[in-house]
A = this chain, B = another copy of it.
Amino acid sequence: MRIEVISTGDEVLTGKIVNTNFSWISQKLEDFGLAVTWETTVGDDREDLLLAFRLAGERADAVIVNGGLGPTVDDLSQEIAARAAGVELELNEAWLAKMEDYFKRRSRVMPPNNRKQAMLPAGAEVLDNPVGTACGFAVTIGRARFMFTPGVPREMRRMLEDQIIPWLLARAGKQTAIFLKRFHSYGIGESHADALLHGVEALAPGGGVKLGFRAHYPQLETKLAVRGADMDEVRSKLLPVEAAVRQRLGNFILAEDDATLEGVVLSAMRAREATLAIVETFSSGQIAGRIAHLPGAETVLRRGVVARRREDICAAVGLDPDALNEGISKETAARVARAMLAQTGATHALAVLVDVDDGADRIEFAGTICLAIATARDTVVRRSRVVGGRDWVRLGAVEMGLDCLRRYLQGLPVDERIDFEKVEERPA
């Protein structure tokens, strides 16, 4: 099946906004074994829209059109869809009533120009939009079925997941109940994860599970896209595969689905009524910055401190000015964490010290990270040398600091080797 996407709107065409809707649509289709073969971007221009619709209607089996369903005069999708399909625009009474109700429930009167959003090409099939006033619809133009979606990302995504992907799967002769399971990990590279998970797809009874990855350093997202006849079948297919993924990626999985590393850390701290103090250097406040603003963080984060020079770190945590003169190591990180614990009265202190190479970025530019987590009970430490540019080292220090805290709170080892570190000849 040949699928095309048409992105519409002057904002996208002029580059004022980056076309993330398209990449989202295309990725989502890929997840479920469907491929986009062609994408066209045109502005809010009648002739170009008409030509784009006609050309896609000659080439494709299915076309997803994004944007142009709003209430203003430059929203032209319904009008041009009707022209391309050779039909008139008709008022859809059901959608009009739905919109009026939508406004009434918000104690507002519907502005007259919203009526335009209920004008659809005659014979169009409505694609419901449960989260907005733009009515999605499907019509046939040329040899292709066209599905029109709103430009608002939240509305488009819902419509794609709930209605369009199942329709495309059915049309492609595939099972139509779908589910996307996601695991987030830190410390395993994409090719390593791919090797570790070799063969997991085959564990699904009768198949229907597709494994995929999305790397956004420092984290890796592992995706299981599942198709079945209904959600019960989807669940039974997913069960053995997700268990295998959890077992094979093991301690490296930091969160699942919509959860985040910082959210997991914060929840674990709140569950034990723990409090946190953080000392950071080259990561420059970004560890605290991942946590401090989250709802509920005010009861957990007692203090975050940033300093760059050794004497400033000592002063900030109340250590003797010469305490770090020997350089950074597991021992000095532990000393700083314990001093921070004593000074703030928090139950947990995290110290992440970084020494970066001198000079400009280059391929072999590296940084040494020494971190420690101290509590009244014990102190755990980790040392790692991360290769990459300055930004790479900084991102790595932030992620490693948070992930070691997650591991500590979950009773896992904090010093498991990761793929992004350089094995040192003389570990300190």
Q: Are A41 and B42 in contact (CB under 8 A)?
A: no
Q: Are B13 and A26 in contact (CB under 8 A)?
A: yes
A72 adjacent to chain B (CB < 8 Å): no
Closest B residue to A390 by CB, please name it.
B293
Per DSSP, chain A at the interface is mixed
A157 adjacent to chain B (CB < 8 Å): no
A292 adjacent to chain B (CB < 8 Å): yes
Closest B residue to A309 by CB, please name it.
B298
In chain A, residues 296-313, which have Cβ atoms closer than 8 Å to a Cβ of chain B? 297-299, 301-309, 312
Q: Which of B20, B289, B298 contacts A285 (CB 8 A)?
A: B289
A217 adjacent to chain B (CB < 8 Å): no
What are 20 pairs between A and B in contact, CB < 8 Å? A13-B36, A13-B37, A13-B38, A17-B23, A18-B18, A38-B48, A39-B42, A40-B41, A55-B55, A284-B291, A284-B293, A284-B297, A285-B287, A285-B304, A286-B289, A297-B308, A298-B308, A303-B312, A303-B315, A304-B304
What is the bound-complex CA distance between A40 and B5, given in angstroms?
10
- Interface extent on A, as a size class? 35 or more
In chain A, residues 13-66, which have Cβ atoms closer than 8 Å to a Cβ of chain B? 13-20, 22-27, 30, 35-43, 45, 48, 52, 55
Contacts of A214 in B (CB 8 A): 16
CB distance from A39 to the nearest CB of B (A): 4
Q: Point out which of A15, A20, A214 has the most chain B C-beta atoms below 10 A from its C-beta.
A: A15
What is the bound-complex CA distance between A20 and B301, given in angstroms?
37
What is the bound-complex CA distance between A386 and B43, given in angstroms?
35
Q: Are B40 and A39 in contact (CB under 8 A)?
A: yes
CB distance from A368 to the nearest CB of B (A): 16
Given contact pairs A38-B48, A315-B344, A306 touches B286 in the complex (Cβ within 8 A): no
Contacts of A76 in B (CB 8 A): none
Contacts of A42 in B (CB 8 A): 37-39
8 closest A-B pairs (Cβ-Cβ)?
A: A285-B285, A284-B292, A15-B26, A15-B23, A304-B306, A298-B308, A285-B288, A39-B41
What is the bound-complex CA distance between A52 and B283, given in angstroms?
46
In chain A, residues 258-291, which have Cβ atoms closer than 8 Å to a Cβ of chain B? 278, 282-289, 291
Q: Are A308 and B316 in contact (CB under 8 A)?
A: no
A406 adjacent to chain B (CB < 8 Å): no
Given contact pairs A284-B288, A289-B285, A27 touches B43 in the complex (Cβ within 8 A): no
Q: Point out which of A35, A41, A214, A298 has the most chain B C-beta atoms below 10 A from its C-beta.
A: A41
Q: Are B19 and A24 in contact (CB under 8 A)?
A: no
**Interface residue ranges, A against B (CB under 8 Å):** 13-20, 22-27, 30, 35-43, 45, 48, 52, 55, 214, 278, 282-289, 291-293, 297-299, 301-309, 312, 315-316, 344, 390, 394
Q: Which of B15, B36, B289, B316 contacts A30 (CB 8 A)?
A: B15
Q: Are A14 and B40 in contact (CB under 8 A)?
A: no
Other 6 A-B pairs with CB < 8 A, given A298-B309, A304-B307:
A14-B30, A37-B42, A38-B48, A40-B40, A293-B394, A303-B316
What is the bound-complex CA distance between A283 and B288, given in angstroms?
10
Contacts of A48 in B (CB 8 A): 37-38
CB distance from A19 to the nearest CB of B (A): 6
What is the bound-complex CA distance between A17 and B27, given in angstroms?
10
Closest B residue to A20 by CB, please name it.
B18
What is the bound-complex CA distance between A307 and B343, given in angstroms?
14
CB distance from A326 to the nearest CB of B (A): 18
What is the bound-complex CA distance between A316 and B315, given in angstroms?
12
Q: Are B301 and A307 in contact (CB under 8 A)?
A: yes
Contacts of A289 in B (CB 8 A): 284-286, 289, 306
Given contact pairs A285-B286, A312-B302, A38 touches B41 in the complex (Cβ within 8 A): yes
Given contact pairs A282-B293, A284-B293, A289-B289, A23 touches B30 in the complex (Cβ within 8 A): no
Q: Point out which of A13, A45, A390, A394 has the most chain B C-beta atoms below 10 A from its C-beta.
A: A13
Q: Which of B40, B282, B283 contacts A38 (CB 8 A)?
A: B40
